[in-house]
Amino acid sequence: MAHKFKITTAKNGEFVAKFVYNAETLVWSETYKSKASAKNCIESIKKNAPGAAIVDQTAGEEGKGYRFEIAASKDGQTFVRFVAANGEPLVRSETYKSKSSSKNCIASVQKNGPAADVVDEA
């Protein structure tokens, strides 16, 4: 399967959860002090992303609960965040020139995330 989650080590020795397609990282987490926290992030995405709402903040939409947010970057592009029910972002994407690319990123995480293997590279 080309889609997978990876746990990698950041430069500071902490851990990062990533969702990748072939060699492209679609979304990544903040750094976590423990590998267990990175694993929890992945499990939360696998469980909650498929049914999560999509909130387009660039159109003034707001949301609660687990959700994907399409947000504007400072340079006018868009990026994606997957946010937990408590409002904490779990992962974010790179910036995209088109909103449709942000939507494609969300669709990939929702469709392919639940069955994706987890590879521990840390």
Does 119 reside within a domain?
no
Domain count, the chain: 1
Domain range enclosing 65: 3-114
Query: Quick one: which of 23, 27, 78 has its CA closest to 55?
Result: 78
| Overall pTM surpassing 0.85 (yes/no) | yes
Question: Quick check: 51 pLDDT over 80?
Answer: yes
7 in any annotated domain = yes
pLDDT per position as a tens digit, 22-32: 889 999 999 99
pLDDT single digits (tens) 67-97: 999 999 999 999 999 999 999 999 999 999 9
Is 64 inside a domain boundary? Answer: yes
**Residue 66 resides in a domain:** yes
Please tell me the chain's helix, strand, coil percentages from 3-state DSSP, rounded to the nearest 5.
25, 40, 35
- CATH code at 108? 2.30.29.80
